[in-house]
Amino acid sequence: MMEFLKLAVNGTLMKGLELNPNLVDVGATFEREAETEPAYRLWTIGDRYPAMVRVKAGGRAIALEVWQVPPAGLGQILVQEPPGLAIGKVTLADGETVLGVIGEPLTVEGQIEITQYGGWRAYRAAVEAAKKNT
């Protein structure tokens, strides 16, 4: 029986988004939608992908997906991630701690914070709605 690692993804690796094939190509399978504990903030990096950072105060729950990833595929996924993203530990709303894609604090400096949207999909939907209204 093959062992899998749980990996929480909060941006372009999610189902149907640009980098999702990077997960699928290594044999990862979708487990569930989830949220973090309310201890994270989220930024858009050049409006191309998000970066999530754990904070001491002022955080909130961020929507994400949990995937089952073969251990051999984890490195391949990480190498294909945009600069400034890394694998760290993420605590979910139910208290489970899993590996997850997180942003390096320096990466978010000078970027637009989008924590108030609660997740990348909600932010992108708001951007698209605003474009339609202009």
Annotated domain spans of the chain: 5-132
5: left (phi over 0), alpha (psi -120 to 50) or beta: beta
Alpha-carbon span 115 to 95, nearest angstrom: 20
pLDDT score at 25 = 97
Q: What is the pLDDT of residues 61-116, one digit of tens each?
A: 999 999 999 999 999 999 999 999 999 999 999 999 999 999 999 999 999 999 99
pTM of the model: 0.94
The H or E element that residue 8 is part of is strand 5-9
pLDDT score at 2 = 61
Alpha-carbon span 36 to 88, nearest angstrom: 13
Alpha-carbon span 71 to 82, nearest angstrom: 20
**Domain 5-132 top-level CATH class:** alpha beta
